Amino acid sequence: MIKAEHISKSYVSAGHAPVKALDDVSFSVSDGELFGLIGPDGSGKTTMFRILVTLILADKGVASVNGMDVVKDYEKIRNSVGYMPGRFSVYQDLTVNENINFFASLFGVDKEESMPLIEDIYGSLRPFGNRLAGALSGGMKQKLALCCALIHKPDVLFLDEPTTGVDPVSRKEFWQMLRNLRSNGITIMVSTPYMDEADMCDKIALMQKGMILALDTTENLISQMGNQVWGVSGNNMYKLLCDVRSYRGTLRCYPFGNSHHVFFNSQEPDISDFGNYLWGCGNENVKIERLEPCIEDCYLYITDGRRI
Amino acid sequence: MEQRVIEAEHIVKKFGNFAAVDDISFYVEKGEIFGFLGANGAGKTTAMRMFCGLSRPSSGKGMVAGLDIWSASEKIKSRIGYMSQKFSLYSDLTVGENIRLFGGIYGLDEERMKKSGDMLLKKLDMYGEKDVLVKSLPLGWKQKLAFSVSVIHDPEIVFLDEPTGGVDPVARRQFWELIYEAAGRGITVFVTTHYMDEAEYCDRVSIMVAGKIVALDTPANLKKSYGVNAMNDVFTIIARNAGRNE
């Protein structure tokens, strides 16, 4: 179990005002849960990870991992958690096998003992055992990093944006692996900018400016939105976007794949008036329909409206 | 006929025996938003570098902005904008300094630099950040600034290599509105992305697998011909088929 209570952290650098990275953040993650931290760059996700894996100290608040305090028991925590930091995680100038051997010896473990746990992931890397990590594709690099983070059979995994820049098919594979690990009883805390991945977490925390704006299962977050999302499409999508925004009943409108998603000021908007307005602006083939909201709608609804 | 600003005919790029780009042919019309999709390692960046005049094909013909990629690669560089995910702005220069630097590289004179620079800062609502180091900006801002800088000289085409990788949903949408606007001004946009909702915003997309273009059409036609409702499904079907043939 991971527990954070009233954690605050500011970064101070000479000649600048202190930057508040975390502002009174509290949450807990149950054993065996797949927990997602979702938020824009600079929202404090990485700082939260670094505090929990004992790399930096919080200014205020307490945190623990499986009952071990992040300050007092830092050595024990380091031996029982796996951590995949965002950018740097494997040595590019070592081969696949050298990286795995290196991390195994760091933790003083026999890699053969961990094989049953990582077999599923290592299997696809085996043919490339003698290839330099730097020469692997993005998806393969992340698989290798995950193997290295799992080599000492940790109880808790911390993954900071493990799939950023990885193509959609490799991302899907990576998440299938995470779900398999969870079914082995490993607790996983993961951050991601991809909303389809947020959907695969048991619970998510939406973060912005060092605070948690919402924390719940994706189902609950979505059902709290009700049915206030509408989809609009037409022939000239950019003109349509500008026109929807200029309509007096529009609260917000976003491009959203093949349609624009609209939130109105009123719960029961006058759709025929809206349609007439768009038609009057010269839009053709306008289609308006009520939509089932998805997690990305929640994110946009909860986090936007502020300058980010 | 619409004016073609990129034309590729049987372009091949080999590294040793490995064909990173394996006989691709296509064209892009003026003012189009053209999505250049493919899995990691499919050859997108290698192809893009040839169109930007940064490397030469092993064989094949190509024109960019009416210029031959074999004989006029230096001229091409002055007619295009280029933005990559990894390197796009100098993080240890301020916002204003980056604008001046790139404006200078793209050949703007003092007067035009001042005018375009001010307009850019105003549009991005970043006037207050003019003297801030780029490295202290959030990623979403950096990418919007990098894009605006890459079109500061009103190029005919702008090449964007995964401009929104790792950017959150709100900032990604703001970024695409800049793209729409540039396309509205007549700038052709050639963009790679891993986000399939962004593929839907393109006028046409191509999908590369192992150095070849295996699909090229409007998002609507691609979805129709694969019998699915979203570009994500098109991409998944194509990638899965590719896996079987390897």
If you write DSSP's letter for every residue of chain A in order, what string do you get?
-EEEEEEEEEE--TTSPPEEEEEEEEEEE-TT-EEEEE--TTSSHHHHHHHHTTSS--SEEEEEETTEETTTTHHHHHHHEEEE-SS--S-TTSBHHHHHHHHHHHTT--HHHHHHHHHHHHTTTGGGTTSBGGGS-HHHHHHHHHHHHHTT--SEEEEESTTTT--HHHHHHHHHHHHHHHHTT-EEEEEES-HHHHTTSSEEEEEETTEEEEEE-HHHHHHHTTT-EEEEE-SSHHHHHHHHHHSTTEEEEEEETTEEEEEESSSS--HHHHHHHHHHTT--S-EEEE----HHHHHHHHHTTS--
Return the residue of A nearest to B140 by Cα. A41
pLDDT at residue B139 in the model: 83
Distances (CA, A) of A181 to A83, A96, A176, A178, A249: 14, 21, 9, 5, 47
In the predicted structure, residue A307 carries a pLDDT above the cut 60: no
**B103 pLDDT above the threshold of 70:** yes
Cα-atom radius of gyration of chain A, to the nearest Å? 23
Interface ipTM: 0.76
Residue A117 near residue A184, CB atoms below 8 Å: yes
pLDDT at A308: 32
Answer yes or no: is pLDDT of A256 > 70. yes
**Residue A68 bridge partners (DSSP):** A65
d(Cα A241, Cα B122) in Å, to the nearest integer?
21
Q: Is the pLDDT of residue A14 over 80?
A: no
Cβ contact A83:A149 at 8 Å: yes
A168, B184: Cβ pair inside 8 Å?
Answer: no
Under 8 Å between Cβ of B98 and B106: no
In the block, residue with structure tokens 């950040």? B129
pLDDT at B22 over 60: yes
Burial class of residue A86 (count of CB atoms within 10 Å of its CB; 0-12, 13-18, 19+): middle
Does B125 contact A at CB distance below 8 Å?
yes
Instruction: Give the number of other Cβ atoms within 10 Å of residue B220's Cβ.
Output: 11
Q: Which residue has the tokens 């990623």?
A: B139
pLDDT of residue B133: 92
| d(CA B139, nearest CA chain A) in Å | 6
d(CA B146, CA B148): 6
Phi, psi of A42 (to 5 degrees): 85, 10
- A168–B177 CB contact, under 8 Å: no
Taking an 8 Å cut-off on Cβ atoms, the answer to whether B169 and A299 are in contact is yes
**B222 contact residues in A (CB cutoff 8 A):** none
B70: tokens are 């074999």
Enumerate chain A positions whose Cβ falls within 8 A of a Cβ in B: 39-42, 137-139, 161, 164-170, 172, 193, 195, 237-238, 241, 254-258, 296, 299-300, 303-304, 307-308
Assess contact for B6 and B157: CB atoms under 8 A.
Answer: yes
A170: its two tokens: 């490799």
Q: Is A196's pLDDT higher than 90?
A: no
pLDDT in tens, A111-149: 898 888 898 889 889 999 999 999 888 788 889 999 999
Q: What is the dihedral of CA A124, A125, A131, A137, to 10 degrees?
A: 70
Q: Do B139 and A42 touch (CB under 8 A)?
A: yes
User: Which pLDDT tens digit goes with each residue over A47-101?
Assistant: 999 999 999 999 999 999 999 999 999 999 999 999 999 776 899 999 999 999 9
A51's CB contacts (< 8 A; 6+ apart) are A4, A7, A9, A22, A57, A58, A63, A70
Provide the pairing of β-strand A2-11 with A156-160: unpaired
pLDDT of A305 over the 60 cut: no
Domains of chain B in start order, with CATH, are: 4-81+155-241 (3.40.50.300)
To 5 degrees, how large is the angle CA A171–CA A172–CA A178?
Answer: 90
Do B70 and B46 touch, CB atoms closer than 8 A? Answer: no
pLDDT digits (tens, 9 = 90+) for B65-94: 999 999 998 899 889 999 987 768 999 999
- What rounded mean pLDDT belongs to chain A? 91
Whole-number percent of chain B with pLDDT over 90: 69
Instruction: Give the pLDDT mean for A6-17.
Output: 86
Rounded to a whole number, what is the distance in Å from the CA of A301 to chain B's nearest CA? 10
Helix axes B139-150, B110-123, angle to 10 degrees: 140
Measured CA to CA in angstroms, residue A124 lies from A147, A179, A296 at distances of 11, 17, 32
How many angstroms separate the CA of residue A35 from the nearest CA in chain B? 18
Q: Touching check for B15 and chain A: CB below 8 Å?
A: no
Chain A CB within 8 Å of residue B169 CB: yes
**Which residue from B139, B165, B236 is facing A169, i.e. has the nearest CB?**
B236
List A206's β-bridge partners, or say none.
Answer: A38, A214
Give me the pLDDT at residue B245, please.
47
Does the beta-carbon distance from A254 to B168 stay under 8 Å? no
Over residues B217-235, the pLDDT tens digits come to 999 999 999 999 889 899 9
CB-based contacts of A8: which residues, under 8 Å, 6+ apart?
Answer: A20, A22, A23, A24, A25, A58, A59, A60, A61
pLDDT above 90 (res B58): yes
Give buried/exposed letters for B65-76 (b at 16+ CB in 10 A, else e). Answer: bebebeebbeeb
Tell me whether B25 touches chain A (CB under 8 Å). Answer: no
Judged by CB atoms closer than 8 Å, whether chains meet at A169 and B39 is answered as yes
Tell me: pLDDT of A25 over 50.
yes
Residue A224 pLDDT class (50, 70, 90 cuts): confident
Q: Which residue of A has its CA nearest to B136?
A: A42
**Chain A contact set for B232 (CB, 8 A):** 168
Q: Give the distance from CA B164 to its chain's centroid.
A: 11
How far B34 CA lies from chain A's nearest CA (Å)? 15
Tell me what percent of the residues of chain A surpass a pLDDT of 70: 98
Helical ranges in chain B per DSSP H? 44-51, 73-79, 95-105, 110-123, 139-150, 169-184, 196-199, 219-226, 231-245
- Residue B147 tokens, joined: 């894009």
In this structure, are residues B35 and B193 in contact, taking their beta carbons and an 8 Å threshold?
A: yes
Determine the distance in angstroms separating the CA of A44 from the nearest CA of chain B, rounded to an integer: 11
Nearest to B207 by CA among B3, B9, B24: B24
Q: Alpha-carbon distance B45 to B55, whole Å?
A: 11
Average pLDDT, chain B: 90
Return d(Cα B35, Cα A136) in angstroms, integer.
Answer: 25
- Mean pLDDT (whole number) for B139-160: 92
Q: Beta-carbon neighbour count of residue A167 at 10 Å?
A: 20
Question: What pLDDT shows up at residue B1?
Answer: 52
State the pLDDT at residue B246: 42
Alpha carbon A286 to chain centroid, angstroms: 35
A149-183 pLDDT, tens digit per residue, is 999 999 999 999 998 878 788 888 899 999 999 99
